[in-house]
Amino acid sequence: MRWNVLRVVVTLLAVLGLSLAALGQARYPNKPIVLVTHSSPGAGGDIFLRNLAKYLEGIVPVPLVVENRPGGASARAVAYVATSPKDGYVLYGATPTMLQTPLLTKTQYSYLDLQPVANVFFDPMILYVRADSPWKSLRDVIDEAARRPGQIRFGAATPGSVEHMIAHHVMSVAKVKVQPVTFEGGGDLLVAVLGGHVDLGVGEYAEIASQVQAGKVRVLNSFTDKRIPGTAIPTAKELGYPIVVEKFRGLLGPKGMDPEAIAFWEKAIQQVLRKPAYQMYYRSVYQVPAYMDHVQYKLYLDRMNVTLRRYLKSIGLVE
């Protein structure tokens, strides 16, 4: 009798254990997840994902592995993710580069072959001048541009980038002409502004924040929707110029990705953005949390894509 009870208990336990294991198998996630970036190790996109992975520890119960697939200006990374299994174990850490490249070159895959999962951050863009510049606000710049059309040297990154797009938005919104000057990176541009080789620059706030604190450059305004948290920098919108352009950073998976995995990540991103240690970090580098769920993100990317295409057309880079 006793023996039988024991057998029943053991059997029950075994069944329970098996079904628990089976349940564990079914639940997403149950194996390491790969986060793909088109950046080289140490570059912006790479650091974003590695930090995200670090602070997601404890929220995502499986290891997160960052894989660098540089080359082809994001085309290789997009192709890799687009052709990955749809079970949600390969995700792409996206930036606007993902939209630009297919517009400028013929690529096999574009963001339309990906499933937006969630947006995480906006990197705020700002307009800045050297501290001894007479300009105090975007309005001064525009007045001067109206007086001397095409003479103001407006430093920005490569055409096709969001920085360069801002220069063009300023021209079309204020109906003035400036001379956009291309630089390969935000750092190079900052040196050119500090050295007086260009009159003003547009860039990420994080790149120039320390020069602002040191009093070497002055920020005129941001191109964000709301003021950058923790600063008193006015937005272009407040000044009457509705120019809002952001560098987004978010996650996408292959098209047709498992809805359960999407839901899991939407929750995980919201949780990690609330984690105090992560908040302390992302505030220190002036990244603005900008969570969007997969529906909002899809709409946002579609809109951004149209804006980018229209702008590339206006500067003659696409037909």
Partner 1 sequence: MRRADLVAGMLLLAVAAVYFHQSLFIARGFADRLGPAFVPRLLAGALAVLALALLVRAVGGRSEATPPPEARTGLLVVVLALLVGYALLMPKVGFLWATPVLLAAVLLALGVREPLPIALTAVGVTAALYGVFGRLLGVLLPGTPGRL
Partner 2 sequence: MLERFALGAQVALHPQALLMTLLGVAWGILGGALPGISGSIAMALLLPFTFGMDPAVALMMLAGVYVGAMYGGSITAILVSTPGTPGSAITVVDGYALHQKGESGKALGVSLVTGTVGGIAGVAILVAFAVPLSRVALAFGPPEYFAFGVFGLALISSFVGRDLVKGAISAILGLMLATVGTDPFTGTPRFTFGSVDLVGGVAAAAGMIGLFAVSEIFYQIAEGVDWERIRGRYTTKLPSLVELWRLRVATFIGIVFGTIEGLLPGGGGAIASFIAYNEAKRWSKHPEEFGRGSLEGVAAPETANNVVTATALIPLLTFGIPGSNSAAILLAGMMLHGLQPGPALFDRTPHVVYGLFVGLLVANLFMLVLGLLALRPSIALVNVRRPFLLSAILGLVLVGAYSINNSMVEVWIVLLTGVVGYLMRRYGYNVLAMVLGFVLGFMVEANLRRSLLISLGDPWVFFTRPISALLLALAVLTFAWPIVRRVREDRRGVPKLAPELTHRAAR
Position among 44, 102, 159, 186 found at the interface with partner 1 (CB under 8 A): 159
Confirm or reject binding of residue 107 to partner 1 (CB under 8 A): no
Residue 309 interacts, among partner 1, partner 2, none and using kind-specific CB cut-offs from 5 to 8 Å, with none
Position among 86, 139, 216, 275 found at the interface with partner 2 (CB under 8 A): 216
Confirm or reject binding of residue 50 to partner 2 (CB under 8 A): yes
Smallest distance from partner 2 to CB 123, Å:
13
Confirm or reject binding of residue 69 to partner 2 (CB under 8 A): yes
Residues numbered 112 to 151 that lie near partner 2 (CB under 8 A) are 150-151
Strand-pair category, 288-292 with 179-182: unpaired
Tell me which DSSP letter residue 49 carries: H
Phi-psi region of 88 (alpha: psi -120 to 50; beta: other; left: phi over 0): left
Nearer to partner 2, 75 or 91 (CB): 75
Confirm or reject binding of residue 19 to partner 2 (CB under 8 A): no
Positive or negative: CA dihedral 149, 152, 153, 154? negative
CA distance 180 to 30: 50
Confirm or reject binding of residue 214 to partner 2 (CB under 8 A): yes
Position among 58, 134, 195, 316 found at the interface with partner 1 (CB under 8 A): 316
CA distance 278 to 50: 12
Nearer to partner 2, 34 or 263 (CB): 34
What would the DSSP string read from start to end of 181-227? EE-SSHHHHHHHHHTTSSSEEEEEHHHHHHHHHTTSEEEEEE-SSSP
Residues numbered 160 to 189 that lie near partner 1 (CB under 8 A) are 164, 180, 182
CA distance 201 to 198: 8
The answer, yes or no, to whether the previous bond of 29 is cis (omega within 30 of 0) is yes
Give phi and psi for 123, each to the nearest 5: -90, 115
Confirm or reject binding of residue 179 to partner 2 (CB under 8 A): yes
Nearer to partner 1, 180 or 250 (CB): 180
Confirm or reject binding of residue 293 to partner 2 (CB under 8 A): no
Confirm or reject binding of residue 63 to partner 1 (CB under 8 A): yes
Could you give the residue ranges of the DSSP H alpha helices within the chain? Answer: 2-26, 44-55, 75-82, 97-104, 138-147, 162-174, 186-194, 205-213, 259-274, 276-284, 294-314
Strand-pair category, 200-204 with 153-156: parallel
Positive or negative: CA dihedral 259, 264, 268, 271? positive
Instruction: Compose the 73-102 pattern: x for residues touching partner 2 by CB under 8 A, - for all others.
Output: x-xx--x--------------------xx-
Binding residues vs partner 1 (CB under 8 A): 32, 63, 65, 67, 159, 164, 180, 182, 315-318
Binding residues vs partner 2 (CB under 8 A): 40-43, 46-47, 50-51, 54, 68-73, 75-76, 79, 100-101, 104-108, 150-151, 153, 158-161, 179-184, 187-188, 190-192, 194-198, 206-211, 213-214, 216, 280-281, 284-285, 317
